[in-house]
Structure 1
Amino acid sequence: MAADDAPCPEFMDWELDTSTCNVNGLKEEKQLSASQRRCYSFCRRKSFAAFVASKRDDGQEEGSPRWRCCGQTFEEHSSIHKHTARTHDAEIRQLAQAAYQRLLSQLEEEAETQQPDEREAEPVDFSAWIPETGHISQEQLQKGPGKVLLYYRYCLVEDPHLISAWQKALCETLHLTGKVRLATEGINGTVGGTNTATDLYIDAMRSHPLFRMEEEDFKTSDGGAECFKDMKVGVYKEIVPMGMDPDVISYQLAGVPLEPEEFHEEVQALLAEGDWCSDTILLDCRNFYESKIGQFTQCLAPSIRKFSYFPDYVDQNLDLFRDKKVLMYCTGGIRCERGSAYLRSKDVCKEVYQLKGGIHKYLERFPDGFYRGKLFVFDERYAISSNSDVISDCRYCGCPWDQYQLCSTAFCCQLVLSCPACRRDGRTACCPTCQTKGQAPLHREECECTDGRPRIPQDV
């Protein structure tokens, strides 16, 4: 499933799930879920900022700001920040834990007050939309070979809460795990289960009159229910979080879709022209940690941490796209639908095309084509492969390596490429701050592992 936005098991672009948070006391750090770690990290940043602000000397003459702490005077932001991090970590941690408890209590109260909006409708009979499983054993639904499905459908959903309830019932019946996002603009999902269960899920989706889906709309890969921790179904403003109102930037404004064969021919022509080609951009609209381990040859891969940063990237690089032909691609196609629509809304490109079905469908047709390396996926596998190329390396020793693991530092949700030899030596953190201090940076963008540059072909 495309998403978005910072690398952690439920992958950043999913809103905080307060139902899993411990409001009776902060858990041991290692026991916190990824969503709880994000919540705590937010509180820690806020607590750090409040502590620094409390040390500001407001009685000084007009001029540059100044801070006083521990009998010292600091005249630069960086100096007071370093001092606070080194000297007052225990205090910051206490403040953060208190803020964490307050935030969770607040979220719980808000969830209670908003519960009627979640749906207080009369019970609905979903039996017509749920496949009959009486003739199938539970073992067939829960054990044996399986797969992971990735799909989306843009369409008008007048009652997404009704469809959400159906999805929950359907996935529970079939013992599926994964994530499904619903909005008035459509549905976006990735689910895992046995071959029997996922086949029944595809049949149920295809039989529903709202979506009008075909079997080819589902991208499949080897896996199963074990690829996800649980099943999450929710209603949101957007089915892929770009941070733009779907009524303003609609998928209906998307670029021209190209079948994998057509896209392959376009890339082939681009590579054949080589340095002579200056009017075409092959644009990867995924996040930097995705493009780092796999990408199309000679692509432009923006250094963005999540898809909601893509509009800002476009705004800041309009001259780069001016009068150019743009070929866009992403994991399964959904981000290109909205991303190409946003790019077209700027009215600077000559033409905008997108890879239909994304890299998933391209690799089904061209496993040894122009996409090299692994394909990042938003589940516990992190990546799948169709070729043996390794295009990334270990952040510590530089040897070829492309298998992600979570940073070993508590509350840090970054992914790190650390080879087995380096991990045995204890180098398991995403950046020097995490490695030496054992604490996550205040902002994910401050991690050294995010300090990348867009890979722009020289001729662009």
Structure 2
Amino acid sequence: TKIISNLTGSTSAASAQELDVQKVHWECCGQQFEKKMDIHKHAAKEHMPEVLQQTEAVLELLVQQNSKLTANHNFGENKSASLELSGTKEEFDVCAWLPDTSHVTFDELTCEAGEVLLYYCYCAIEEPRMICTWQTALCRQLHLTGKVRIGTEGINGTIGGCKTATELYIQAMISHPLFQNMSKEDFKRSAGGVNCFADLRVGVFKEIVPMGVDPEKVSYKDAGTHLTPEEFHMKVEALSQDLEIDKKTILLDCRNFYESKIGNFQHSLAPNIRKFSYFPDYVDRNLEFFRGKQILMYCTGGIRCERGSAYLRSKGVCKEVYQLKGGIHKYLEQFPSGFYKGKLFVFDDRYTIPASNGIISECSYCGTRWDQYRLCSTSYCCQLVLSCLRCREKGLVACCLICQEKGKSASESHSGAPVKEECDCTEKRMKIPVEHI
């Protein structure tokens, strides 16, 4: 909605006010409204979801800011305390860092077609809850969905929306003083949109990527040497051509087994671990395997390598530790037909995004080439399943036959919602694999 005034001059305050009342009108959805009542009716009829969402965001901001202020017992008596909160901490004034969207229509912010942004920024954040409040308001204002993790060590996010909204989001991020070292290049883009996520989740966490180690003990500041996609490509190329280098170098995938299963760099070591919090134990159990080796690490967007490489370096066994800057995402932008084969796994409702035309994985049941994940059909299991269309038509839609039978029994018993439990095939897997020297 735009407020238009044709007031061009005045001879007195009274006449200016009179002219202003006569000339001001409102424009919305290609229509012009002369009266406030008319624009109010239009907004209530056509834009109620947006109005409610904006109102909710503003109210949440006011409540959180009020709780911050009233938490200071001397606020009413000590003006210097008030000045400290509102003056020296720029991020406290959340509204000051929200973008101006008056030039953008509701339709431009809510179209389904768009993109997904993946990004992170390691930096010192003294007041992560204030940034959490700002991020919540920012994403709601721009109608974005996704997940944003904030901590004292930085921010990690993946959000989806229309391109107008994601562009405004990027501008808001790089304009904030805490993230002034970020640039547009730090945001990895892929085709998607608001429907790639069920909702918006913004929270404060000890770690912005859960490795299970206190950030104060293993810091991103001690990460391995960053290699650009070009530099990484050259090293992988040399690795594939020289057997001597191959014996001294390990191309290490930091992701989970279900990620590397559908796509990876050729000749890489992909640990058979289920989540990143197992990675420290994996390193500890395989120190002799890594001893004296040059390590080339990679992950989806680069964030897991930051502290993963720092942990590996802290053990003092590797000759050198390198990591792919920007992760597989940035590598594929420059080398779409490079050494990475298969699909790239992503943590949203798409599950994968195209990387190369080849399929390197197979159906868990019949062995045919297949790389499209679906959740296990049994409600108590959260495992991902590779089951081809033919097998799915046969009812083979669980992660394993045992889980399939459990699912049938649960549905036939009608005993209410089943209790979540670890799947048998997961329970039998080795939690921390040991590599052979």
TM-score by shorter chain over 0.5: yes
1:148 aligns with 2:95: no
- Given that 2:387 and 2:397 are in contact with CA atoms closer than 8 Å, whether structure 1 keeps it comes out as yes
Amino acid corresponding to residue 431 of structure 1 in structure 2: C
1:443 aligns with 2:422: yes
Report how far residue 125 of structure 1 moved: 3.5
Summarize the alignment of residues 53-132 of structure 1 with structure 2, pairs less than 5 Å apart.
120-122=67-69, 125-132=93-100
Post-superposition Cα deviations, 1:314-346, rounded to whole Å, max 9, x if no partner, equal: 000001100000000000000000100000000
- Structure with more relative contact order (C-alpha pairs < 8 Å, separation 6 or more): 1
Q: Report % sequence identity.
A: 62
Distance, in Å, in 1 between the alignment partners of 2:206 and 2:101 is 33
Amino acid corresponding to residue 144 of structure 2 in structure 1: L
Post-superposition Cα deviations, 1:350-375, rounded to whole Å, max 9, x if no partner, equal: 00000000000000010110000000
Gap runs ≥5 in structure 1: 1-115
1:217 aligns with 2:217: no
Q: Match of 2:340?
A: 371
Q: Match of 1:180?
A: 148
Amino acid corresponding to residue 120 of structure 1 in structure 2: S
Post-superposition Cα deviations, 1:103-143, rounded to whole Å, max 9, x if no partner, equal: xxxxxxxxxxxxx9999313954222111001110000001
Distance, in Å, in 2 between the alignment partners of 1:276 and 1:445 is 40
Report how far residue 273 of structure 1 moved: 1.1
Distance, in Å, in 1 between the alignment partners of 2:112 and 2:304 is 32
Distance, in Å, in 2 between the alignment partners of 1:386 and 1:408 is 27
Report how far residue 145 of structure 1 moved: 2.9
Distance, in Å, in 2 between the alignment partners of 1:171 and 1:252 is 29
Q: Match of 2:131?
A: 163
Report the CA distance shift for 1:427/1:190 in structure 2 as closer, same or farther (over 3 A).
same
**Cα RMSD over matched residues?**
2.3
Q: Match of 1:204?
A: 172
Report the CA distance shift for 1:371/1:450 in structure 2 as closer, same or farther (over 3 A).
farther
Report how far residue 445 of structure 1 moved: 6.9
Distance, in Å, in 1 between the alignment partners of 2:269 and 2:65 is 41
Distance, in Å, in 1 between the alignment partners of 2:210 and 2:420 is 24
Task: Find the residue that maps to 1:447 and give its secondary structure.
Answer: helix
* Residues matched between the structures, number: 343
Distance, in Å, in 1 between the alignment partners of 2:259 and 2:351 is 9
Task: Find the residue that maps to 2:280 and give its secondary structure.
Answer: helix
Larger radius of gyration: 2
Post-superposition Cα deviations, 1:176-225, rounded to whole Å, max 9, x if no partner, equal: 00000000000000000000000000000010010121000000000000
- Given that 1:431 and 1:449 are in contact with CA atoms closer than 8 Å, whether structure 2 keeps it comes out as no
- Given that 2:380 and 2:420 are in contact with CA atoms closer than 8 Å, whether structure 1 keeps it comes out as no
> Structure 1 residue runs of 4+, over 6 Å off?
116-119, 451-456
Report how far residue 437 of structure 1 moved: 2.3
Q: Match of 2:274?
A: 305
Post-superposition Cα deviations, 1:224-249, rounded to whole Å, max 9, x if no partner, equal: 00000000000000000000000000
1:244 aligns with 2:191: no
Distance, in Å, in 2 between the alignment partners of 1:207 and 1:325 is 38
Q: Match of 2:365?
A: 396
1:381 aligns with 2:350: yes
Distance, in Å, in 1 between the alignment partners of 2:100 and 2:361 is 46
| TM-score of the two chains, using structure 2 as the length reference | 0.75
Task: Find the residue that maps to 1:179 and give its secondary structure.
Answer: strand
Amino acid corresponding to residue 273 of structure 2 in structure 1: I
Q: Match of 1:189?
A: 157
Task: Find the residue that maps to 2:146 and give its secondary structure.
Answer: strand
- Given that 1:299 and 1:455 are in contact with CA atoms closer than 8 Å, whether structure 2 keeps it comes out as no
Report the CA distance shift for 1:159/1:214 in structure 2 as closer, same or farther (over 3 A).
same
Report how far residue 411 of structure 1 moved: 1.2
- Given that 1:227 and 1:379 are in contact with CA atoms closer than 8 Å, whether structure 2 keeps it comes out as yes
- Given that 1:332 and 1:361 are in contact with CA atoms closer than 8 Å, whether structure 2 keeps it comes out as yes
Amino acid corresponding to residue 352 of structure 1 in structure 2: V
Report how far residue 160 of structure 1 moved: 0.1
